[in-house]
Amino acid sequence: MDTQGWKYKHLLQEFFLLKTESNINFLFARGRVALFAALKSLGLGAGDDILMAGYTCLVVPTAAILLGARPVYLDIDPRTYNIDPGQLDIQYTPAFKALIVQHTYGIPCRMDGILAWAASRHIPIIEDCCLAFGSKFQGKLCGAFGTAAFFSGQWNKPFSTGLGGMLIVHDEDLSGKIQSLIDRELLQPSWAHRFRIWAQIHLYERLVTPKTTPWITAVYRGLSKTGLAVGSSTRGEYSGKTPKNYFMAMTPAQVKKGAREMERIEANIAHRRALTRFYEENLPSAGFATVELQPDEDPVFVRYPVRVANKEELLAAAFRHGVEIGSWFESPLHPAGTDLEKFHYRPGFCPKSEKAAREVINLPTHPRVSPAEAARVVEFLQRHGKVCLNRG
Ligand SMILES: *Cc1c(COP(=O)(O)O)cnc(C)c1O
């Protein structure tokens, strides 16, 4: 690995207070690939059930399905959008072999109950930290609780490596297995792929602002469908096919961006906290409910979730006005339009998740949003959003 790679790894290790020898992190093309590597190295496959929130990205169950395992979905707690620990025993069967714990929107899961349950059943936990970087539960960082934790560097995540995935492993045996899987099977990106990623990172840094986000996103989706740009997902992925070049490493441009982002991670987190305070102070007077946190929950919000009664109408208006309001999660398996049954999800299975998918929009907290822009977002919400009366 080159100097940028070592630097990126070192900064991650420092952030997570890892012992360099026993807690190695790996750099992949996407977050889902990091998850896949962990699941595969745990020896999971046909006949195994993998538990996860029924309020996630489609690519999470896909990583299980690609191994022949079956995703089993848990409904969320409508307060935190995270799995409800009370569901674990209700759903339990001996086929359960792993639990993916996702810290949704950056809100930490209640890990005490979850860890106790998993330990009593000898079930490994993989933390999905794609939306949580710097969040803490009872003073401990998300990503430090499970056997392993994975992170995404996709454009909308806590920090972007222009797509990308990281994996932190807290178990030496598993870490060794992952390293040998990487040595055997991990593909290296082609020159064409490296070039496209490099160009995308540069264009992104120059062009994307909150006001240009809606139309740039539309253009990017169009270009990635034609294959000119490297998109988040391939079309086949939405129907459960193994994507080409799935198990691939990060490119050097992504590694370099990762190192740069880690150097300014504290400023990034401070900015997100400041905008969160602004939303918490200003949403109630606009009529909207804020997230009710308990004293031991210390989230760094990647986006701030708000329930509205007119989600689709509001998103359409936001697009017209150039206001950066997000739609996830659009479905229990984001994005909308997924053939859920192909992914072993039956409508009605997670009613609280489905309700959240109909109601929740999210507000930006990232460093490109100025306080003035955040004020414009709240004003827009006040003008166009309809208040959602009941929550759960
Ligand atoms: C984005 C995301 C992923 C997948 O990350 P990729 O890098 O796109 O593979 C997984 N889980 C959650 C919760 C996410 O938000």
Neighbouring CB atoms inside 10 A of 338's CB total 20
Beta bridge partners of 326: 362
Domains of the chain: 3-185 (3.40.640.10), 191-245 (no CATH), 265-384 (3.90.1150.10)
Q: Whose CA is nearest to atom 12 of ligand 1?
A: 130
Q: How far is the C-alpha of 373 from the C-alpha of 213, rounded, in Å?
A: 13
Q: How far is the C-alpha of 77 from the C-alpha of 187, rounded, in Å?
A: 39
Does 329 sit behind a cis peptide bond, omega within 30 degrees of 0 on the bond before it?
yes
Q: How far is the C-alpha of 30 from the C-alpha of 150, rounded, in Å?
A: 10
Predicted TM-score (pTM) of the model is 0.95
Per-residue confidence in pLDDT tens, the chain, 392 aa: 688 888 999 999 999 988 765 567 789 999 999 999 999 999 999 999 999 999 999 999 999 999 999 999 999 999 999 999 988 998 899 999 999 999 999 999 999 999 999 999 999 999 999 999 999 999 999 999 999 999 999 988 999 998 999 999 999 999 999 999 999 999 999 999 999 999 888 888 888 777 787 778 888 788 887 777 777 777 667 666 678 889 999 999 999 999 999 999 999 999 999 999 999 999 999 999 999 999 999 999 999 999 999 999 999 999 999 999 999 999 999 988 888 999 999 999 999 999 999 999 999 999 999 999 999 999 999 999 999 876 55
Cα separations (Å) of 389 from 16, 69, 83?
40, 39, 23
Q: How far is the C-alpha of 302 from the C-alpha of 159, rounded, in Å?
A: 9
The answer to whether residues 306 and 363 touch, using CB atoms and an 8 Å cutoff, is yes
Dist. CA 277 → ligand 1 center (Å): 25
What is residue 166's DSSP assignment?
E
Q: Residue 208 has what pLDDT?
A: 79
Dist. CA 303 → ligand 1 center (Å): 14
Q: Which residues line ligand 1 (CB under 6 A)?
A: 30-32, 56-57, 59-60, 102, 128, 130-131, 152, 154, 165, 232
Q: Residue 21 has what pLDDT?
A: 53
Q: For the chain, list the strands marked E by DSSP.
A: 25-28, 49-53, 56-57, 70-74, 96-102, 125-128, 136-137, 140-141, 148-152, 165-169, 297-298, 303-307, 333-334, 360-364
CA dihedral (14, 15, 21, 25) in degrees, to 10, reads -130
Q: Residue 390 has what pLDDT?
A: 65
Q: Is 203 helix (H, G, I), strand (E, B) or coil?
A: helix
Q: Residue 245 has what pLDDT?
A: 87
Dist. CA 130 → ligand 1 center (Å): 5
Q: Residue 242 has what pLDDT?
A: 72
Q: Residue 224 has what pLDDT?
A: 80
Q: Residue 119 has what pLDDT?
A: 96
Ligand 1 pocket, mutate which of 36, 52, 57, 230 (most atoms under 8 A from CB): 57
Q: Is 28 helix (H, G, I), strand (E, B) or coil?
A: strand
Q: How far is the C-alpha of 135 from the C-alpha of 152, rounded, in Å?
A: 15
Q: Residue 50 has what pLDDT?
A: 98
Q: How far is the C-alpha of 387 from the C-alpha of 392, rounded, in Å?
A: 14
Radius of gyration of the chain (CA): 20
Q: What angle do CA 191, 193, 198 make, to 5 degrees?
A: 95
Q: Residue 79 has what pLDDT?
A: 97
Q: Residue 26 has what pLDDT?
A: 84
For residue 348 the two structure tokens come to: 């009605």
**By C-alpha distance, which of 179, 177, 166, 169 is closest to 22?**
169
Give the full edge-to-edge strand order of the sheet including 140-141: 140-141, 136-137, 297-298
Dist. CA 34 → ligand 1 center (Å): 10
Dist. CA 101 → ligand 1 center (Å): 13
* Contacts of residue 205, Cβ cutoff 8 Å, sequence gap at least 6: none
Cα separations (Å) of 379 from 145, 276, 362, 373, 382?
39, 15, 14, 10, 5
Q: Residue 391 has what pLDDT?
A: 59
